[in-house]
Structure 1
Amino acid sequence: MLLRCKRAALIGFAALFLLPPAAHADDFTTKDLTLDLGDVTTPATLFVPPGADRRPGVVMVHGSGPGKRAQYRLFAEAFARQGIVALLYDKRTVGYSQSQRDYSQLANDALTAFGVLRARPEVDPAQAGLWGLSEGGWTAPLAASRSDDVAFLITVGANGGTPSRQQAWAVRERLVRMGVSGSMVDAVADKGMRQIIHNGLFPQADYDPVPVLRRLRQPTLGIWGAKDRLTPPGESLRVFRENVPRHTLRVFPEGEHGAHRTVTGFERLPELVPGYAELVGSWVRELPTANSADPAPHQDVTTRPLEPLAAWETGKVQIAVLAVLVLAFLGYGLSGFVRRWRPGAGSRAHWLAAASLAVVTGWMIYVFLLLSNGKLPLGPLVFGRTLPWLGMQVLSVAVVVLMVLTVLRTGRELAGAGVGARVRRGVVLAGGALFVPWAFYWGLLLP
């Protein structure tokens, strides 16, 4: 009897591995499509829940960047398991880049995809809506405001302000959260961002979402992570609450910008925040008629407007100053190959030129990297400064000291020198004189 029981147990245990798995209720199928956006075509994928009945459907509108379907597949699968047909498409590459984009065009693309979704036999056309993440939180509402056929709108990590104000906030938030303080914060998050915005390097910088939000007539579900570091969640929720006529606004305490789980808000864990997919599924099925909103999450850093550039701050002036500085210090070094133009032993002028050139070139590279790559590791901090920034500040102080020493010794060192040596010395001193106000402006000579 015992032997029979053991044999039966072994057979049953083996069956767990040898028999095909049972079908799950949340299985879904995918269908590849091609969307005709007018000037271009783009691939798309439809995620379909099981069952013959027509289901609610949603078009997923991308955040910023290239916007390939693979980035959002996890969301589409989660929605399909909630009984929602999800249409996911690759964002256009024609007319969209780091320096070029048109939210109106992107909204029209979303409406084109929406028309395809509503026509699918798997979808109930009266229950089809739009979902937009991040930048999609600007374009999806714009698309919804243009069509009464859009039955509902869902936004995740949407912004209530202009792209320029949001981007400046994100840069400042990251620096402050990482422990950076002092002049570096204002130099990068304020002066650096003002140069980018007001010199036309940031497309759609002044797009105002508020008029569009006020025109919405669809039920709108707004979702934010309390640890969002790219969108000001507290301010954005308040803007939606005050301007969207029909709203349900929810905050996930452990969520980051894209509704994934996070610890600090800067890293994205693989899984979605618990309850997110269930919230979307139940809300789409019910479409509540009464408004409701969670309390706005706390923000340590608030957004601030970017002041216009003064005449002496413009991009042309900045480029001209940098060009003069590089030419002055580099020219001094190269002209030293002419023996009769060199100063006597003990001169500090060559150190002045070398230190100044190191600061100017290092600053150009470092600030560019900080502003173009939001994921650039800051590394260890000393006195609230990153090591590269602290190094440039130390060198800037050294430049001032070397400048004073060079001025004091110029008369003695150039006694009996020819015209070439005197011109060369005048060039490096002029460069040093220009370097000082430039370094003050960019915070390199400020605490």
Structure 2
Amino acid sequence: MRVLHRGLAGLLMVLGVAAVGMGVTSSVADAQPAQANTVLSEVSFESHGVMLHGTVYGPADPGRHPGIVLVHGSGAGPRDEYSMEARAFAAAGITTLVYDKRTVGYSTNHRDFSVLADDAVAAVTVLRQRADVDPTSVGLWGFSEGGWVAPLAAARSGDIAYVVTIGGSGRSPLRTQTWYLRNQLAHQGVSGSLPDAVAGAGAQFIDGTGVFPEADFDPGAVLSRVRVPVLALWGEHDVKVPAAESAEVFQRELARAGNNSVTTGFVPGAGHNGHRSTDGFDRVGGDLFEGKPLGELVPGYADVITDWVHRVAAGQAPPSSAAQAPHPAAGTVAPVGRPGYEYAALAVLLLGFALPALAALARILLRRGPSELPRPLRRSARALSSLGLLTVLGTVGYVIWVLATGTRISLGTVISGQPLPWLLLRLLAVAVLVSVIAVAAHWSRARSKVPGAQRIQLTALLLTGLAFLPWALHWQLFG
């Protein structure tokens, strides 16, 4: 199969960016000639009460050109992070606007995709008003988080002519994050039950707290309303979003919208951002951003996008096509359980295991004597209480900590695929069950020596210990 641009056919075939690999057909019109220089101009525009500032990279030659607005990935999003794309697109004859992402109303714990989509629409309005831009051919390029935002903007605005995404996920933000975290854990040598605990019960627990912004945003519902041409690309080595799974969602949901120009493909030798990477975790060459390389643009990657944009602008949007994923990858996992169950179970376990300590405190406050339980039974009950509290609090705390920080730091010593803290928590869980058996055994031997009030406490403690078993299975402590 031939490559988009006849003049680049030989080069792109050598690099592996052919129609088979990128999902682009051979009937694309000739690409516009690359410009030797670009013209930069500063712009400002308002959205939701915030003044946003950006740079327009304009082609050097006169006349009207297609326009494209670059929509950020997650994080602070200063425009310099996307200067390589902006220069490449402008050099290919596309007027490109990249702007600083809003900082007001956007943070680690709060973001609103609807507001970000309105920001993108406002940027499109800026480009459409320029004399050097064809107002009927202005579209969006969305990276990562922008792969959720750009389709949302296109679904609500008739001024957007097309959408290009790189590294966009077809799954919810939380489900995508846990998939990425699985890859990050595996990269650190972690296997076994911890990734399942993080992606399952831990993710559901976090979801219910509301601290993970836009956790359950449904990209499929948005894609099913997008009717403009879409080019969706993923890096061959993307470890942050499930590329193959997302490509299927894009194709399915956009077809549901009646969209007959949906092209999905994969960029050979690229990571999440479409730049050079050997494994998805490194970035090879390219500009420095915050002291770290962004990775070079994979040769041919920008050409595929700009050729496709020029074809759409010429009224020759290609028919839908889907490239095959370069290699199989594990699918995402939906969080399991319900937040109400998670919090109720946690409260019951903590209260049940704390009963001996609460009873002892009550005896002190009421100036009553010490427990009348036989010493072996008293010791086993205290052990069950302490081990139970430590295991439950430790498990929830550690899994949430991994969810919050596991993509940014090392988890330390790993033994047989398990980080040392997780291994210790699993051993503690076994100790809890041993303590349950010990309490039951000592009680059966000294049944006549246990006062009535303390029988109730022991019964509650044993029932809590029994309830701990399904909870521990749910949190993968015995996985």
TM-score range, shorter chain: 0.7 to 0.9
Match of 2:317 in 1: 289
Which one-letter code corresponds to 1:398 in the other structure?
Answer: A
Deviates more, 1:373-382 or 1:388-397: 373-382
Q: Does 1:139 align with 2:167?
A: no
Q: Find 2:405's aligned residue among 373, 380, 387.
A: 373
Counterpart CA distance in 2 for 1:141 and 1:386 is: 39
1:320 partnered with 2:347: yes
Cα distance between partner residues in 2 of 1:250 and 1:263: 18
TM-score under structure 2 length normalisation: 0.73
8 Å Cα contact 1:160/1:239 also seen in 2 = yes
1: CA distance between counterparts of 2:161 and 2:333? 35
Q: 1:83 to 1:340 in 2, by over 3 A?
A: farther
SS of 2:54's partner is strand
Please say if residues 202 and 396 of structure 2, whose CA atoms lie closer than 8 Å, have aligned partners that are also in contact: no
Report the Cα distance in structure 2 between the residues aligned to 1:214 and 1:350, rounded to whole angstroms. Answer: 57
Listed as ranges, the gaps of 5+ residues in structure 2 are: 1-33, 285-292
Partner of 1:85: 95
Letter in 2 for 1:318: A
Measured in 1, the distance between the counterparts of 2:282 and 2:322 equals: 26
CA-atom RMSD in angstroms:
3.8
**Which residue matches 1:11?**
none
1:6 paired residue number: none
Q: Is this contact kept in 2: 1:59–1:114, CA < 8 A?
A: yes
Q: Check 1:425–1:293 CA distance in 2 against 1; reply closer, same or farther (3 A cut).
A: closer
1:246 aligned to which of 254, 261, 267? 261
SS at match of 1:341: coil
Separation (CA, whole Å) in 2 of partners of 1:416 and 1:149: 82
1:79–1:277 contact (8 Å) kept in structure 2? yes
1:217-267, CA deviations, whole angstroms, 9 ceiling, x for partnerless residues? 433221101222222111222333342421333211322222122232234
> Which deviates more, 230-239 or 61-70?
61-70
Shift of 1:322: 5.1
> Is contact 2:147-2:165 (8 Å) kept?
yes
- Quick check: 1:198–1:308 contact (8 Å CA) kept in 2? no
Change (3 A) 1:46 1:180: same
> Is residue 56–residue 128 contact of structure 1 (8 Å, CA) maintained in 2?
yes
Q: Separation in 2 of the partners of 1:67 and 1:327? A: 47
| Larger relative contact order (CA 8 Å, sep ≥ 6) | 2
Closer/same/farther in 2, CA of residues 108 and 184 from structure 1, 3 Å limit: same
Counterpart mapping for 1:124-135 below 5 A? 124-135=134-145
Query: For residues 418 and 353 of structure 1, do their structure 2 counterparts lie closer, same or farther at Cα, with a shift above 3 Å needed?
Result: same
Q: Which has the higher mean CA deviation after the structures are superposed, 342-351 or 288-297?
A: 342-351
d(CA) in 1 for partners of 2:474, 2:168: 34
* Deviation string, structure 1 residues 261-314 (Cα, Å, up to 9, x no partner): 22322344431341222322333333353334322343331235555639xx62
**Superposition TM-score, scaled by structure 1 size:** 0.78
On the 8 A contact 1:127/1:151 being kept in 2, the answer is yes
2:296 to 272, 288, 306: 272
Q: Report the counterpart of residue 364 of structure 1 in structure 2.
A: 396
Q: How many residues align?
A: 421
Aligned-partner Cα distance in 2 for 1:352–1:319 = 16
Give the match for residue 7 of structure 1: none
The aligned runs of 1:153-192 (5 Å cut-off) are: 153-175=163-185, 180-192=190-202
Give the drift of 1:181.
4.1
Uncovered stretches (5+) of structure 1, i.e. residues with no partner = 1-23
Distance 1:318 1:240 in 2: 38
Secondary structure of the corresponding residue to residue 42 of structure 2 = strand
Partner Cα distance (1:425, 1:307) in 2: 32
Give the counterpart letter for 1:359 in structure 2. Answer: T
Post-superposition CA distance 1:412-432 (Å, at most 9, x none) = 899989999888877765654
**8 Å CA contact retained: 1:170, 1:231:** yes
2:43 maps to which residue? 33
Match of 2:127 among 113, 117, 122: 117
CA distance in structure 2 between the aligned counterparts of 1:235 and 1:417, rounded to whole angstroms:
60
Does the residue aligned with 2:56 lie in a helix, a strand or coil? strand
